[in-house]
Amino acid sequence: MIVQRREALVGRVLLVLLMVITVLPFVSLVVTALHEPGTYPEGISWPDSPHWGNFADAFEAAHMGTLLLSSLLIVAGVVPASLLLGTMAGYAFGHLRMPGHRAVFLLFVLGLTLPFEGILTPLYYQVRDMGLLNTRWAIILPLIGLFMPFSVLWMRAHFVNVPQELSEAASVDGANLWQQFWRIQVPLAVPALSSLGLLLFLWTWNQFLLAIVLVDDPTKRTMAGALGAFQGQYGTDIPLLCAGSVLILAPTLAVFLLFQRQFVTALLQGSVKG
Amino acid sequence: MSSQTQQAGGAAPTTASAPAPRRRRRGGRARWTGWLFVAPALLVYAVFVLRPMVVSVQYSLYDWDGVGASTYVGLKNYSRLFTDSVLSHSILNAFKLIVFFSAVPVLLGLLIATSIRAIAASRLAVVARTVLFLPQVIPLVAAGIVWSWLLSSTGFVNQVLGWVGLGGVTRAWLGDFTFALPAVGVIGAWVLLGLCTLLLLAGMTKIDPSLYEAARLDGAGAVREFVSITLPALRQEIGVCVTVTVIAALASFDIIYISTQGGPGNSSMVPGLEIFYLAFTERQVGQASALGVALMLLVLACVLPVQWLTKERDE
């Protein structure tokens, strides 16, 4: 049908346009990073002699090696703990449904839409009194708490759909709840767990607000927090700033492109839940 | 709620989802064991989220500089949210940002998703799914840095305006009293547009194609088709988009901190950034907490009606 062919063409043109708008800022970033340090390039323009050395300079200036390690440590603190606690609670809310579970579940739901800024001030004094300011724990522990509503909700959604017969068969075989959980339920929950893990990794890696408030030393922050500090330091040297930004973005983009299908699925599902 | 369970998620999920078969009553002790599974999660959540929430309310009733003695002032910090021009202005700005962060991505997303519905299965669309998610994957800080550069006086945006003969309107967008806030809004719209488009498209692909064929046979035009079939079927997805984007607008911090710091003057100040300044540079802990409590309530007041309106009705 003619109508459909024209519709498809309009669709393609619009889609390409949207993709161009999405990608252009990234192109601008890379191109600008190749200009002579300290200059103000005009718009998007290819430099006469690309300064590939900017990346090496930015790598030094941003302490990329230390940063990667720091971010990985924070992720290693947040993600496994969130997965474990979220799965246990999700199992209880979705599968065991003990007396009074509904009220406490609602308490978790309450935290789902919480803007971090709302509790930022007391959190700062609480972390200070715990003696954790300026340590990675200052980011790790609050993030586990702040991600808990989402983690619990996500895992509960999985466990609600697990048939009760599974547990009944297992208890007939004499497995207690703890054994049932580890031997039967957790292996079945692996797909849900891995999507959740991806999302939590991304949100931890990109966490900015907690990092700048609770940790002064950029080398103990998340990637995003370090980028903020880098901008404060090199904000006037546009090419160097862009080179640093490219480097700081590179790991995220690499991981995203590697696991793109899982990411897209998880992000789509994640927005529906969050 | 995963998309498989087919129900609206977010702020008000129904606990009555997927009714499980009534279980046999376990023994008295086993029925309570579930709480042991919840306890660790609840503990961390209580210490790092619930306690700060309560303390926020407590702080908000006092004048305190974070160091010395505090004075009880009742609700004065709250009344100041309305009377102090800087504070009320920041809340107003948050609402203005909703236009850019929510209305633009959702409406444009609807338009684009409708246009590409016909080619949703093509190879181009598969590539697009990855590309359009890029803004969601990078830190907002990076989006702020890139766009600060694009919107600068010698940046790409002005370059394009010069090409199309609009050289007269070029300016340093983020340094302009009138345009700083809309410019920040454009950055937010860029971040959220791809996500909304893909969410809405995912919803559209679930609509039964025979509905559209029937509409065509009845001689319905594209607009009629959209209003009668697409929109009602997408109620849930639209609700999700509005919820996600409204929260992003009201709780915006990263982009503004990087691109304008709330300036010039206070023209692009938002509550999130104002809380940060009040608490950590101006040392007005009580006032910062009051604004924090107000922001939490504001998000709930905006999100709950949306959830209620777009929830899947149990047929």
Q: Which positions in chain A touch B122 (Cβ < 8 Å)?
A: 12
- B252 backbone φψ class: left, alpha, beta (φ>0; ψ -120 to 50): beta
Say what the pLDDT of residue B174 is.
Answer: 95
Q: Which residue in B31, B33, B38 has the most chain A C-beta atoms within 10 A of its own C-beta, making it the best mutation to test that interface? A: B38
Lowest mean pLDDT among A243-252, B26-35, B271-280, B293-302: B26-35
Partner A, chain B 229-288, Cβ-Cβ below 8 Å:
240-241, 243-244, 247, 250-251, 253-254, 257-258, 271-272, 275-276, 279-280, 285, 288
A247–chain B Cβ distance below 8 A for any pair: no
Say what the pLDDT of residue B32 is.
Answer: 83
A227–chain B Cβ distance below 8 A for any pair: yes
Taking CB atoms within 8 Å and a gap of at least 24, the contacts of A51-57 are: A51/A239, A54/A239, A54/A240, A54/A243, A55/A243, A55/A246, A55/A247, A57/A240, A57/A243
Q: How confident is the model at residue B312 (pLDDT cuts 50, 70, 90)?
A: low
Partner B, chain A 99-138, Cβ-Cβ below 8 Å:
99, 101-102, 104-109, 111-126
Q: Residue B86 burial by CB count (10 A; 0-12/13-18/19+): exposed, middle or buried?
A: middle
What integer is the mean pLDDT of A10-31? 92
Does the distance separating the beta carbons of A115 and B272 come in below 8 Å?
yes
Residue A206: in which H helix or E strand, if any?
Answer: none
The partner residues of B62 in beta bridges, in order of sequence, read B72
What integer is the mean pLDDT of A48-62? 89
Report how far residue B20's alpha carbon sits from residue A87's, in angstroms, rounded to the nearest whole number. 19
What homologous superfamily does CATH list for A64-271? MetI-like (1.10.3720.10)
The alpha carbon of residue A88 is apart from the nearest alpha carbon of chain B, in Å, by 5
Higher pLDDT, B311 or A273: B311
Residue A27 scores a pLDDT above 70: yes
- Nearest residue in B to A14, CA atom: B112
Lowest mean pLDDT among A115-119, A176-180, B175-179: A176-180
- CB atoms near residue B305 (< 10 Å): 10
Partner A, chain B 179-198, Cβ-Cβ below 8 Å:
190, 193-195, 197-198
Say what the pLDDT of residue B6 is.
Answer: 34
Say what the pLDDT of residue B29 is.
Answer: 58
Does the distance separating the beta carbons of B299 and A12 come in below 8 Å?
no
What token pair was written down for A94?
A: 């979705």
Say what the pLDDT of residue A124 is.
Answer: 97
Say what the pLDDT of residue B307 is.
Answer: 87
Residue B55: in which H helix or E strand, if any?
Answer: helix B51-59
In total, chain A counts a number of residues equal to: 274
Partner B, chain A 25-44, Cβ-Cβ below 8 Å:
25-26, 28-29, 32, 40-44
What token pair was written down for B30?
A: 């086993």
Higher pLDDT, A61 or B102: B102
Does the distance separating the beta carbons of B52 and A117 come in below 8 Å?
no
Do residues A245 and B146 lie in contact, with contact meaning Cβ atoms separated by under 8 Å? Answer: yes
Question: For the whole model, what pTM was predicted?
Answer: 0.90
Query: Please, what are the domains in chain B?
Result: 76-310 (1.10.3720.10)
Q: What is the pLDDT of residues A213-259, one digit of tens each?
A: 999 998 899 989 988 888 888 888 889 999 999 998 888 899 899 98
What integer is the mean pLDDT of A92-102? 92
Residue A187 scores a pLDDT above 70: yes
Q: How confident is the model at residue B25 (pLDDT cuts 50, 70, 90)?
A: very low
Q: What is the pLDDT of residues A128-174, one digit of tens each?
A: 999 999 999 999 999 999 999 999 999 999 999 999 888 888 888 88
Partner B, chain A 146-165, Cβ-Cβ below 8 Å:
146, 148-149, 151-154, 157-158, 160-161, 164
Q: Across chain B, what does the average pLDDT equal?
A: 88
Does the distance separating the beta carbons of B53 and A23 come in below 8 Å?
no
Cα four-point dihedral sign A121, B261, B271, B252 = negative
Q: Which residue in B29, B48, B122, B192 has the most chain A C-beta atoms within 10 A of its own C-beta, making it the best mutation to test that interface? A: B48
Q: Which positions in chain B touch A137 (Cβ < 8 Å)?
A: none
Residue B62: in which H helix or E strand, if any?
Answer: strand B62-63
Q: Across chain A, what does the average pLDDT equal?
A: 90
Do residues A215 and A143 lie in contact, with contact meaning Cβ atoms separated by under 8 Å? Answer: no
Q: How confident is the model at residue A206 (pLDDT cuts 50, 70, 90)?
A: very high
Residue B8 scores a pLDDT above 90: no
What token pair was written down for B66?
A: 């974070």
Cis bond upstream, residue A251 (ω within 30): no
Does the distance separating the beta carbons of B303 and A113 come in below 8 Å?
yes
Q: Which positions in chain A touch B154 (Cβ < 8 Å)?
A: 40-43
Residue B15 scores a pLDDT above 50: no
Q: What is the pLDDT of residues B193-252, one digit of tens each?
A: 999 999 999 999 889 989 988 998 998 888 898 999 999 999 999 999 999 999 999 999
Q: Which positions in chain A touch B35 (Cβ < 8 Å)?
A: 92, 98
Say what the pLDDT of residue B287 is.
Answer: 97
Positions of CATH 1.10.3720.10 in chain A: 64-271
Does the distance separating the beta carbons of B134 and A23 come in below 8 Å?
yes
Q: What is the pLDDT of residues B168-209, one digit of tens each?
A: 899 999 999 999 999 999 999 999 999 999 999 999 988 998
- Nearest residue in A to B240, CA atom: A272
Residue B179: in which H helix or E strand, if any?
Answer: none
> Which among B201, B90, B149, B19 is positioned nearest to A15, based on CA atoms?
B201
A69–chain B Cβ distance below 8 A for any pair: no
Q: How confident is the model at residue B10 (pLDDT cuts 50, 70, 90)?
A: very low
